[in-house]
Amino acid sequence: MLTRLRSSLLSAALLAALPGFVTTLPSWSQSQSINGTIRGQVTDASGAAIPNASITVTNAELGFARTIVSEGNGYFVLVNLPLGTYSVSVSKDGFSTARFDQIILTAGKEAVLDPSLKVGNASEQIDVSATITNIDPTTLSVQRTLDSREIENLPLTSRNPYNFILFQPGVSGHPNPELGIPRTLNTNGLLDRINYQMDGMVNTESDRIGLRLFPIADSFLKEVQTVSNSFNPEYGWTSGDVYNVISNNGTNSYHGMFQWIRRWQDATAYPFFANKSQAKPNLQLQDFAVNAGGKIIKDKLFFFGAYEHVTRGQPAPVTITAANVAALGLSPDQVSATPGMLHGNFATGRGDWTINSKNSMFVRYNYFKNNFPFNTQVGGLNARSTAADFLDRAHVIGAQLTSTVNDHLLNELRFSWPFRNNTHFRGPSAGADPAIVISGVANIGASSNAGDQYTDKVPSGSDNVTYIRGAHTIKGGFSLAELINRQRLVSFNEYTFTSLASYLAAKNGTNPYGYSQFRSQQDLTGIGYASLFFGAYVQDTWQVTPKLLLVYGGRYDRFKGPQSNPNAPFINSRSFNTPSLNFAPRVGVTYRLDDHTVLKASGGVFYQSTPTNLWFNALNLDGSNRVNSFTITQPAGATTGTLAFPNIPAAGATSLQNVTTISPKFKNEYTWNATLQLSHEFSRYDTFMIGYILANGRNLMYLHNINPINPTGQLADGRPVFSSAANASTRLDTRFNQINQVESGANTSFNALVLNYTRSLAHGIQINANYTWSHSISDAPEVNTFEQSVAIMDTTNRKRDRGNSIVNHPNAFNLTAVMEPTFSLSHGFLNTLANHNMVALLANVSSGDQQNIITNVSINGDSSVASVTRPLYVGRNSLRSPNVYQFDGRYTRTFPKLFDRIAPSFLLEANNLFNHTNVTTLSPVQAIVQAGNSPLGPIGTSIGTPTITRGSVLEARIVQFGLAVRW
């Protein structure tokens, strides 16, 4: 009831605000973060300021024009300009008119124009070139925007635009071959700290750090904006990066695209680590995409729509031996390869309406559906009956209403309502209960991975007010989001047998007690909960002098969790602390050394939004055995017991429960960052930047067991050895086994040197290349992230885990290049042949990933850390996988246009061009001394070299071809 009430109040408040803003909201604005700004100072030939000069900006594609006058000091600022190409004219009675053409504004771009007017007639026009537009002297953050040309032409065999996160300075990680997020992202020395947005609105999954809420397709993207150190106060809810995709829109000219792509199996290489004596897996992909946009009413009403369908996957062969198939009596269909095919559908529709000269709005709807039969527990020793199907759906509404009150006052209101629901469930070919595991032989019967559900609904809104006064551009606003979640765990009943003979004996009734273990978990209701996130900021951009610009301000964020269970068995789960002192001051300065060189320095505090799994785990694992989970274990050779196969009991005796809870002193994590950049424009198209980034994480979450039994001794390296005798005098709470508590207080340190070269589009060539040298140190493993959530090794001493962070990639190089050079040959045929050939490249080269050397046994009696226990004197993440060399390429041949508008083309693209075996995972298990008085050394001493299993989140070479038509 409380959740519904809060949701209704939020919706009502936002809807009630709409009518009041219709007459006061800014023109053509989406958000300052996804629009452009033009600023500068008008002077005469002597350098004296010219007040009341008229500045007019025009975007012909949108029929957009705006005129303002310069201030008394000659300064002018035009904010919230729609993205695109502009002409700018500056005029004043008694002076010749200055005109700038081809001013290209991309997301978050600020173009600086400093027109110097000459005495003359206003009807005289002087065409001038914009100065230092490429080095963006007013933007403090380290950022990157991929424009439409790059989005359309860069190789993307995964069909996943989230992989573009990697191609900004200071970020390293690995692309994702599926529709999810890139892996092991280093953002300020932290793992996967990304605030995902679409058109400046929510697209971040709330349960764990580092997940996008809904997938996107490049068929409806216009630009991709990435923002990192150190951004203005208007950006919040992340201690890492902002990844903002800009949806496409209609213009006065009709435009569209149809594209078909198919995977070329014969040219595709064997997967990494595959047995090449067997047939090459059939890696399938087929993608259809179409979009179209244009005007409904010229200069007034525009539309854009897109649809994309992608089918991708590969059959998963079943490897149960023929002899075991016969012994189990499995039918042929149960051991045939499972399809393993993803069926993804993307659709979007957007309308843009210029209501009048001062008010405009857009509304966008996105739809996504992924129907994936045989998604989980397929192939290998799994018969087809054990598979679980997967269904993932998302509906997203986004809207923005904007206006210009006058030249000095603007406002923008945004509202979005994303909804996502996914679940694993038993498909049509699923077996009947129970699930049966015959170790090393086969898995048959029902699935043990079905029944879960995740729902994330985030009604949210924000408002931003911009006030321009003289040399000051003051901006303030707030954002409010309600995170409504429901999570349900898998439900299963599962018997485990150690041999085929014991299973057959149980099946035929000879010995129904010969199993080794029966497990049951039943989550029939799940947990619904709601959180409320609020943020507010104010900032001032002050043009102190023509060369010096100061940005300063602050932000406040509050992340309130759901209602706790006041009757939770463990006391720390009965109430949740909401930190309320999350104030984040920020300041930055830019100084133009000359017309082609800018020095920038900035710093501040950045708070990370709380993953809602922090609260879900405390609600779900409170020691009450909410999911009716229990285990029955049979001794070897048993012929009697309390449960006979294949019966399924409704309940059973449970062992001591493990609890997950939250410290009463919990605080929100944050970083304090400092950035120094020097940018120089070598030519109108070539820019080089060198920068230094410092980021220190504070109050980071870490996990440890607060319920160990009192220690009876210690290992040779000082780790305590805990007793196995539990009683009231030796344990915090004898009702439970582990009590794994999330604490605040872990620290990280990140230092990086960043080099970036950008060649803006010239002569058909544009390039962005960046290199980052960095070092990332932390004193605890990450918690509640998508890729990691483990406890510290020594529950009494966090600093024993101080070492390289999991994302420590000391060297990282990224490159994007789109090249279509033009030639002028005298021979017509040769000239046609030489032109209209485009080559696009992506390069992702980095140091390997940090890996933990573990023992797989707990050598100090703390059962909560068996998976992270290291041998004596071995530091955390002390092993590194090999360097990664990932090069992707695309060749596009465009043919002569049909009817002067329709441009057909052929494309050929490849992932991992050189088929380099990119190992991203090493799983080292170290044998150790486990008994005292060993001649090999004390308990925990390494014996020999570790056994290492290799793995990768990357793929071997994949080749695809396709056809496209653009108009």
The string of pLDDT tens digits covering residues 195-211 is 999 999 999 999 999 99
Residue 449 gets which letter from DSSP?
S
| pLDDT for the residue numbered 130 | 52
DSSP letter for 52, please: T
- Structure confidence at residue 121 (pLDDT): 75
The confidence score (pLDDT) of residue 37 equals 86
Nearest-angstrom CA–CA distance, 541 and 162: 31
Mean pLDDT, residues 246-265: 95
Least confident span in 6-20, 67-81, 354-368, 742-756: 6-20
Q: What is the pLDDT of residue 916?
A: 97
Position 122 confidence tier, pLDDT thresholds 50, 70, 90: low
Beta pairing partners, 87: 58
Confidence class of residue 12 from pLDDT cuts 50, 70 and 90? very low
3-state secondary structure of 498: coil
Cα 182 to Cα 176: distance, rounded to the nearest angstrom: 5
For 199: left if phi > 0, alpha if psi spans -120 to 50, otherwise beta; the answer is: left
pLDDT at 114: 86
| 646 upstream amide cis, omega within 30 of 0 | yes
Residues 213 and 456 sit within 8 Å (Cβ to Cβ): yes
Q: Which of 199, 202, 204 is nearest to 181 (CA)?
A: 204
Q: Which residues pair with 704 in a beta bridge?
A: 741
pLDDT score recorded for residue 2: 39
Q: What is the mean pLDDT of residues 757-764?
A: 91
Q: Give 351's Cβ-side CA count (13 Å radius).
A: 8
Helix (H) or strand (E) holding 54: strand 54-59
Helix (H), strand (E), coil (C) string for 107-161: CCCEEECCCEECECCCCCEEEECCCCCCCCCCCCCCEEEECHHHHHHCCCCCCCH
pLDDT category of residue 7 using cuts at 50, 70 and 90? very low
CB of 256 within 8 A of CB of 967?
A: yes
Does residue 18 carry a pLDDT above 50?
no
**In this structure, which amino acid lies at residue 740?**
N
Q: What are phi and psi of 266, to 5 degrees?
A: -65, -30
Query: Residue 241's closest CA among 204, 192, 206?
Result: 192
Residue 541 has pLDDT above 90, yes or no: yes
CA distances from 914 to 76, 264, 652, 749, 903 (A): 52, 16, 56, 35, 31
Q: Which of 923, 892, 780 is nearest to 153 (CA)?
A: 892
Helix or strand run (H / E) with residue 493: strand 492-497
Give 187-234 as a DSSP string: ETTEES-EEEEETTEE-B-SSSBT-BSS---GGGEEEEEEE-SS--TT
Please give the Cα distance from 644 to 495 (Å, whole number).
Answer: 11
- Nearest-angstrom CA–CA distance, 657 and 570: 11
Residue 702 forms beta bridges with which residues? 743
Interatomic CA distance for residues 448 and 520, integer angstroms:
9
CA 497 to chain centre: 41
Find the mean pLDDT for residues 544-565.
95
Q: Give the C-alpha distances (Å, rounded to integers) separating 601 from 228, 449, 676, 693, 884.
A: 14, 51, 4, 10, 32
pLDDT band for 857, please (50, 70, 90 cuts): confident
Rounded mean pLDDT, 821-850: 91
Q: Where are the beta strands (DSSP E) in 240-357?
A: 241-247, 255-263, 284-297, 301-313, 341-354
| Segment 910-935 mean pLDDT | 94
Q: What is the pLDDT of residue 830?
A: 86
Q: What percent of the chain is predicted at pLDDT more than 90?
A: 74
Q: Secondary structure of 59-96 in the HEC alphabet?
A: ECCCCEEEEEECCCCCEEEEEEECCEEEEEEEECCCEC
Cβ–Cβ under 8 Å, residues 848 and 881: yes
Most confident stretch, 281-290, 551-560, 677-686, 855-864: 551-560
Tokens of residue 660, six digits:
């997950």
Question: Per mean pLDDT, which of 83-87, 357-361, 627-631, 760-764 is the most reliable?
Answer: 627-631
Of the candidates 461, 488, 466, the one whose C-alpha atom is nearest the C-alpha of residue 398 is: 461
The pair phi, psi for residue 13, each rounded to 5°, is -65, -40
pLDDT for res 732: 86
Helices in 457-509 by DSSP H: which ranges? 500-507
CA distance 309 to 304: 18
pLDDT per position as a tens digit, 591-605: 999 888 999 999 999
Could you say which DSSP state residue 516 is in?
Answer: S
Name the residue among 407, 544, 554 with its Cα closest to residue 472.
544
Q: DSSP per residue over 818-869, as a string?
A: EE------SSHHHHHHHSSEEEEEEEEEE---EE--B-SS-SSS-GGGGGG-
Q: How far is 367 from 830, CA to CA, in rounded Å?
A: 46
172 phi, psi to nearest 5 deg = -140, 160
Average confidence score pLDDT of the chain: 91
**Residues present in the chain in total:** 967
pTM, two decimal places? 0.91
For residues 140 and 231, is the Cβ–Cβ distance under 8 A? yes
Q: What is the token pair recorded at 963?
A: 């056809």
Confidence of residue 867 (pLDDT cuts 50, 70, 90): low
DSSP 164: G
Whose tokens are 């070329």? That residue is 264
Write down the pLDDT at residue 15: 34
Residue 128's pLDDT is: 67
pLDDT band at 1 (very low <50, low <70, confident <90, very high): very low
Give the type of residue at 759.
Answer: R
Q: Which of the four pLDDT bands, split at 50, 70 and 90, describes residue 728?
A: low
Please give the full DSSP string across 423-485, using - where no structure is assigned: EEEE-TTPPPSPEEEETTTEEEES-SS-S-EEEEE--EEEEEEEEEETTEEEEEEEEEEEEEE
Is the pLDDT confidence value at 20 over 60?
no
- pLDDT level of residue 781 (50, 70, 90 thresholds): very high
Residue 229 pLDDT class (50, 70, 90 cuts): confident
Burial of 100 (0-12, 13-18, 19+ CB in 10 A): buried
The stretch 67-81 carries a mean pLDDT of: 89
* SS3 letters across 946-961: CEEEEECCCCCCEEEE
* Structure-token pair, residue 541: 């951009």
pLDDT of amino acid 138: 79
CB 389 within 8 Å of CB 424: yes
Percent of the chain predicted with pLDDT > 70: 94
**CA angle (937, 942, 944) in 5-degree steps:** 110
Q: What is the pLDDT confidence band of residue 113, given thresholds at 50, 70 and 90?
A: confident
Half-sphere exposure of 350 (CA within 13 A, CB side): 28
Q: Does the pLDDT of residue 166 top 60, yes or no?
A: yes
Gap between the Cα atoms of 265 and 34, Å rounded:
40
pLDDT at 239: 94
Between CA 452 and CA 718 the distance in angstroms is: 42
DSSP β-ladder status, 670-681 and 686-705: antiparallel
CA 790 to chain centroid: 21
Query: What's the CA gap between 715 and 461, in Å, rounded?
Result: 54
**Residues 454-504: tens digit of each pLDDT:** 999 999 999 999 999 989 999 999 999 999 999 999 999 999 999 999 999
Mean pLDDT of 864-868: 69
Tokens in use for 8?
């209704």
440 — pLDDT class (breaks 50, 70, 90): very high
Max CA-CA distance within the chain? 108
Residue 6 has pLDDT above 80, yes or no: no
Single-letter amino acid code for the residue at 581: L
Q: Is the pLDDT of residue 365 over 90?
A: yes
Q: Nearest Cα to 568, choosing from 524, 624, 528, 614?
A: 624
Q: Is the torsion defined by CA of 137, 138, 140, 141 positive or negative?
A: negative
Asked if 920 and 952 touch (Cβ cutoff 8 Å), the reply is: yes
Scanning the structure block, which residue is given the tokens 């000879």? 510
Distance in Å from the first CA to the final CA of the chain: 52
- DSSP per-residue letters across 332-360: GGGSSPB--EEEEEEEEEEEEEE-SSSEE
Spatial neighbors of 521 by CB under 8 A, at least 6 apart, are 489, 490, 491, 492, 627, 628, 629
pLDDT for 127 equals 66
Quick one: pLDDT at residue 275? 82
Alpha carbon distance 963, 379 (integer Å): 34
